[in-house]
Amino acid sequence: MRIYNEDGTLNDNNWMFVAARWAGSHYKLLRWTLILFIMIIVGFFCGALLITNKKTIMFDTLKDNKEWIELKATLQFVEDKINRITDNHTWVSKKELSEQVKELLSDRHFIMNKMFRLHVTEQEVTRFRDVNDHLSELTRKMFSEHVKLLDSLKDNPILSVASWDDVVVESKLDVDEDAEVLHYDDDNDYGSYFSQMIDAIAWTEDLEIRSLCTTLGEEPEPDHLDNSTTWVEGCLDVPQFDGINVCYAIHDLCTHKNYSVPDLLRIRSYSVLNTVKDNRKHIV
């Protein structure tokens, strides 16, 4: 399309002319928009660089920390022993080997939690807070679904009131047996075989975290364990966790089982399971 008409005047319909005229009248707006865009891009890269530098400085400091070096070397020694046993899949069916693995995992649990205290970062605290919120919500879901299932069974016309004592509702919050293990940039800092170790823990621990069992017709027990009580104790008594109302589920995983805090942050999924059971005693 022509910029000029045949009589030498500007062609108002030419898109280049229209765009140029619009740009001229909105010059200040375009200039500030461009400046703002550049500031956002620069801010993003500076923030990413700052986080990377903080992590690099932190890890460089740890590399020269004598306690960290000793803990990491001991961790690798313990995990190598675990891997040598668990590489042969028959270990699960051999009581002596299973007990040996569990004892080694207990040693690893102690080492990993000491390493976490030295390593803990803002990102790890954020992940911990997210896991805590997720498990708190799943606990509430377990209790809520338990009550709903009991109420629905009471309204079931097939079940007479006389038969209620024969029916039990059981609800559980479990670690998923085949849960995928999450991986993060700081995995190499610890030097742990997280996938193999979390799998070994699953084979040697009861995966149940919370449970609730009620006979139909009875009132289910309320949640006495998460009634505004924080379960910050043992390996969870970390200064960076101040202000976090730690739920019982995390307490169970990290103090009653061999999941260290870094392991906890890498477990991908949990499940709530509700089951209706026959409570009758069969005489043979």
Q: Which pLDDT belongs to residue 36?
A: 72
- CA dist 197 and 79 (Å) reads 8
Amino acid at 41: I
Instruction: Report which secondary-structure segment, H or E, holds 250.
Output: helix 248-251
Give the pLDDT confidence of 88-141 residue by residue, as tens digits. Answer: 989 999 999 999 999 999 999 999 999 999 999 999 999 999 999 999 999 999
Residue 247's nearest CA partner among 95, 103, 134, 125 is 134
- CA dist 58 and 81 (Å) reads 29
Q: Which residue has the tokens 């306690």?
A: 67
pTM, two decimal places: 0.76
Give the pLDDT confidence of 237-249 residue by residue, as tens digits. Answer: 999 999 999 999 9
Per cent of the chain over pLDDT 90 is 60
Which token pair is 267? 């477990």
Q: Which pLDDT belongs to residue 212?
A: 93
Residue 270's nearest CA partner among 242, 243, 236, 247 is 247
Residue 233's nearest CA partner among 206, 209, 252 is 252
Give the pLDDT confidence of 62-88 residue by residue, as tens digits. Answer: 677 899 999 999 999 999 999 999 999
Find out whether 262 and 181 touch, Cβ atoms under 8 Å: no
